[in-house]
Structure 1
Amino acid sequence: MATSRDASGTVKTYLQEMGPSWVAGAIAAGPATMASLIAAGAGYGYDLLWVVVLSAFAGALAQYLAMRLGLLTERGIVGVVEDHLGESWAWILVLDAVIAAGVAQLVIMNTVASVSATITGLDAGIWGIIWAVILAVGLAGSGYRFVELFAKVLVSAVVLAFVASVFVVPIDPAAAASGLVPSVPGGSAAVAAAVLGGAVHITLITMHSYTMRAREWTADEYDLATFDVGISMLVAFGIYSVAIFLVTASVLSDPNLSTVGAAEALGPLVGERAEVLFLLGLGGAAVSTLGGNTIVPPFLLADKLGWGTTVEDSRYRGLLAAFALLSAPGAFIGGEVLGQLVLVLAIGTVGTPFAIAVVLYLLNSGAVPRVNSLPANLAGVALLAVTGGLAANFLRETATIEFFREATAGNVDVLTAAVLSFGVILSIATLGLLVKFFQERVAGTVP
């Protein structure tokens, strides 16, 4: 039986060694998630608090399943998919993740540049170029370790900033408690999907096997990896999400506020300290998310092309630098970032059920030496059902009768059409994968 000293020593060691899930947490705790939380709190009061709490548990579960797959195979997810499902399925996964991460990268850069411009007064376009160069040099030079250290420091600082803001802003405990009762107010499907999409996102699921490989973790680090997921996603990300939501639900009532606008609105309402804390938290979250998101497409593309996934391979290093530099145009998008960020997360939610289905398939096949336990499978299926349901609700709200009427008249909303096409293709792929799994189960030939 372990003594308390042994247990405290183990926890201390784990705190020193944890890291890969913090990179996922850095992406999750970003401006897109913040935008969805602001829209949820300012637009629906405390009503969607249950979704915010659920998102932390769902995010931790998704990362745990992804962690199991990465540790038990000791390979990147794309290579495992190609071996056990085939090349076509691998390309669908790669394109799903690259599209979701690429769109997010541009909008996040827009946010980072806007925040930097607000704080310094320097033009946002110039900041976009500066941040792109910093990313390219930092990532191509130092690779994963640079991102992990960056994520640990900034996520910790961001969480502290928002926890501090909770003590500055008056919260109504009774009203907040009522928000723990599940309800979906009219018109909130996209926002609810975005809130959940911040925690359960295809980029977070697909990147986890690669960040653990970068740390050379194997099945021997199973307990450490589980601890890493719990502290970063369930605790740190959960506190971050709840704190932002409570602040905005308590004092803001304009769902059309931008992330920067929300921070500036807090000043006249509850004091300058709240505004400063919110801006600092927003800036840190935006920068940490930008860095973490940059490494996702290069990981998957390099694995699919048979290249190395560390900076020792010059081809992978080139992919890192290229993706970092290609994010610079995001600073010139302009427009209101809140709606853009919420849409980015909602799009990610549309692509996420397929990634979850892939992970569940592989964890119940010959890809791993120990298949999923029944509780893990039940939790995974529940997660698939929740994300699939929110994605379906979002697509249903997007595919309104008005849209089809406009499309029939030749006035096509290109962005809406693209989102619908993306969702339909991935829905078919997800259903096809589920059918494939059950057919193989019936035939007794699950690979």
Structure 2
Amino acid sequence: MQDLTLKTRTGMTRVLDGSARGLRSRLLFFGPAVIASVAYMDPGNYATNIQAGAGYGYALLWVVLVANLIAMLFQALSARLGIVTGKNLAELSRDNLPKPLVWVMWAVSEIAAMATDLAEFLGGAIGLSLLFGLPLMAGMTITAIITYAILMVEGRGFRPMELLIGAMVGIIGLSYLAEMLIAPVDWSAALAGMTSGAMPDAAALTIAVGIIGATVMPHAIYLHSGLMQSRATPRDDSDRRKLVRFSNIEVVLALAVAGMINMAMVIMAASAFHQGHAEVAEIETAYHMLTPLLGAAAAGAFLTSLIASGISSSVVGTMAGQMIMQGFLRFHVPIWVRRAVTMIPAFAVVAMGVNATQALVMSQVILSIALPVPMIALLVFVARRDIMGAFRPGRVTLTLAGLGAAAVLTLNFVLLAEAFGLPVPFL
């Protein structure tokens, strides 16, 4: 999965030994965090961000910012684990944990991969069905074909895949830049929303729980460690330090872009819907109301970003699922098998006539159940000196990671309690 061309590998080696310098050479190391960042702008985020902006204007932008900072920390730790150990998180779990626990982790992670694919498939399918007036099942089929075609690009080397996914992230970003230029944004209120830390009421807290609790995606934690494990071959600890430094820079930049796109979703919804249409909470409703409120260009940009998000995140979800299965089970999985394993449940849900938005909510609940598995495993492994050696993170980093994990897992528990109708204090 990690095939890079000889030219790319040679260029990386020259950077590591100091014979090549400059921005162009450093860009050879960029790509893994861009791919992982797709998980933070997938269709599952759209409904929550729209609901936050429509219902509370700019007031919850600070929640998106905090969620993004937590995501940066965990993706950086995942990348570090792959660089230092040469193994991905699934492989380390398989090699270091009791076998019964490994089987449970694999089963939970497979279910999470299916839930991830459900949300991503639905996002692309909803976008295509709205754009071309197609039935949802037809949109699903087209999304599946496009996704499989993109996955075949990986046979030409991993760098083209990174560039293709990066281009889709660019499309999503440009679409929301266009939204920002079209929408009547109150930038002073938006800045205040990013820094206020205010929580307007209990219902806003529920939405904030949804934003943070579903931020760190299980498959992204697994995937990033795998993307880094054999991307460049470090000769010694000096090379590893350079790789960790390059990775940290890329994580900050890629996740900053993802965070800005999520903020742009909230800002667009706040500008278009908050005054007079605060009840908007579904993707389809948001699209149909954008045309009369902001014009066809805004609605078109929204659909373009949704389709690019659905397709790119579906590709990334398949890559992560393949890595998880191979890491836990020790054998190669053909890409068509991996595609079928996660695609069939998504088609089954749509065939049963389940409401698309309800299906998205259901997928987020399943992801909330699965998240503790990779999150806790990652913290355990990066804190072990026998695994990380001199690259074990410092006490401050581990403390922040522990606090971040506690916050995210607590909020995921709240999400689950709400989903199953259990009483939750303060909500």
Q: TM-score, normalised on structure 2? A: 0.83
What is the identity, as a one-letter code, of the residue corresponding to 1:94? W
Q: Secondary structure at the match of 1:170?
A: coil
Who is 1:47 aligned against?
Answer: 59
Counterpart CA distance in 2 for 1:254 and 1:177 is 20
**In the TM superposition, what is the alpha-carbon distance from 1:247 to its structure 2 partner?**
0.9
Partner SS for 2:203: coil
Is 1:153 the counterpart of 2:172 in the alignment? Answer: no
Give the corresponding residue for 2:9. Answer: none
Deviations 1:407-434 (A, max 9, x none): xxxxxxxxxxxxxxxxxxxxxxxxxxxx
Q: Which residue number corresponds to residue 13 of structure 2? A: none
Contact kept in structure 2, 1:194 and 1:343, CA below 8 Å: no
SS of corresponding position for 1:372: coil
- Within a 5 Å distance, the mapping from 1:92-107 to structure 2 comes to 92-107=104-119
Query: Quick check: 10-19 or 36-45, which moved more?
Result: 10-19
2: CA distance, partners of 1:261 / 1:217: 49
> Which amino acid in 2 is paired with 1:213?
Q
Flag the 1:324–1:352 CA change in 2: closer, same or farther, 3 A. Answer: closer
- Give 2:63's aligned amino acid: V
Q: Does 1:383 align with 2:383?
A: no
- Taking the aligned partners of 1:43 and 1:335, their CA distance within structure 2 comes to 25
Change (3 A) 1:374 1:11: farther
Aligned pair partner of 1:276 in 292, 300, 315: 300
Amino acid at match of 2:356: V
1:126-205 matches, cutoff 5 A: 126-139=138-151, 142=154, 145=158, 147-179=161-193, 180-184=195-199, 185-205=201-221
Are positions 1:363 and 2:382 aligned together?
A: yes
Separation in structure 1 between the aligned mates of residue 209 and residue 361 of structure 2, nearest angstrom: 9
Q: Which residue of 1 aligns with 2:252?
A: 230
Give 1:430's aligned residue: none
| Structure 1 CA distance for aligned equivalents of residues 172 and 298 of structure 2 | 13
Q: C-alpha offsets along residues 4-42 of structure 1, whole Å, 9 cap, x if unaligned?
A: xx9x95433333431111111122211111221112112
**Residues 70, 397 of structure 1: alpha-carbon distance in 2 compared, 3 angstrom cutoff:** same
**Mapped contact 2:42–2:313 kept (Cα < 8 A):** yes
Aligned residues: 390
Cα deviation, residue 214, structure 1:
5.8
Partner of 1:312: none
Q: Give the Cα separation in 2 of the matches to 1:285 and 1:12.
A: 27
Matching residue's letter, 1:296 = A
How far did residue 150 of structure 1 move? 2.7
List runs of 5+ in structure 1 lacking aligned partners: 1-5, 309-314, 404-447
Is 1:115 paired with 2:121? no
The more displaced of 31-40 and 13-22 is 13-22
Q: Which of 324, 335, 358 is the aligned partner of 1:317?
A: 335
**Change in 2 beyond 3 A, CA 1:217/1:105:** farther
CA distance in structure 1 between the partners assigned to 2:64 and 2:263 by the alignment: 6
Is contact 2:365–2:416 with CA below 8 Å preserved after alignment? no
Quick one: structure 1 residues 107 and 153, their matched pair in 2 at CA, closer, same or farther if it must change by over 3 Å?
same
Number of the residue aligned with 2:330: 306
Kindly state the Cα deviation for residue 278 of structure 1 after the two structures are TM-superposed.
Answer: 1.3
Q: Does residue 398 of the first structure (1) align with residue 413 of the second (2)? A: no
In the alignment, residue 368 of structure 1 is paired with which amino acid?
A: M
Could you tell me which of 54, 76, 82 is aligned with 1:64?
76
Task: Give the structure-1-normalised TM-score.
Answer: 0.79
Matched residues in 2 for 1:384 and 1:205: separation? 13
State the Cα deviation string for residues 198-231 of structure 1 (Å, max 9, x = none).
5311111111122223634653522222222111
Distance 1:226 1:126 in 2: 41
User: By how many angstroms is 1:245 displaced?
Assistant: 0.7
Q: One-letter code of the match for 1:351?
A: A
Q: Distance in 1 between matches of 2:279 and 2:356?
A: 12
Does the C-alpha gap of structure 1 residues 257 and 399 become closer, same or farther in structure 2, counting only changes over 3 Å?
A: closer
Change (3 A) 1:195 1:402: closer
Cα pair 2:48 2:210 within 8 Å, conserved: yes
CA shift, 1:299, in A, is 1.0
Residue in 2 that maps onto 1:264: 288
- 3-state DSSP class of the match of 1:393? helix
How far apart are 1:293 and its partner, in Å?
1.0
Change (3 A) 1:271 1:133: closer
Q: 1:134, 1:247 → 2: CA distance?
A: 28
Rounded to whole Å, the distance in 2 between the matches of 1:88 and 1:56 is: 34
1:264–1:245 distance in 2 versus 1, CA, 3 Å = same
> 1:341 matched to which residue of 2?
360
Q: Deviations over 1:145-177 (max 9, x none)?
A: 364333101001111110221121112234334
1:156 & 1:198 partners in 2: Cα distance?
A: 23
Deviation at 1:345, TM superposition (A): 3.0
Is it true that 1:296 corresponds to 2:320 in the alignment?
yes
| CA apart distance, 1:236 | 1.1
Q: Distance in 2 between matches of 1:247 and 1:97?
A: 34
Alignment-mate amino acid for residue 181 of structure 1 = S
Please, which runs of 5 or more residues in structure 2 have no aligned partner? 1-17, 235-239
2:129–2:135 Cα contact (<8 Å) kept? yes
Q: Matched residues in 2 for 1:330 and 1:108: separation?
A: 13
Alpha carbons 2:114, 2:343 under 8 Å: kept: no
SS state at 1:199 partner: coil
Identity, % of aligned pairs? Answer: 22
Q: Distance in 2 between matches of 1:101 and 1:183?
A: 34
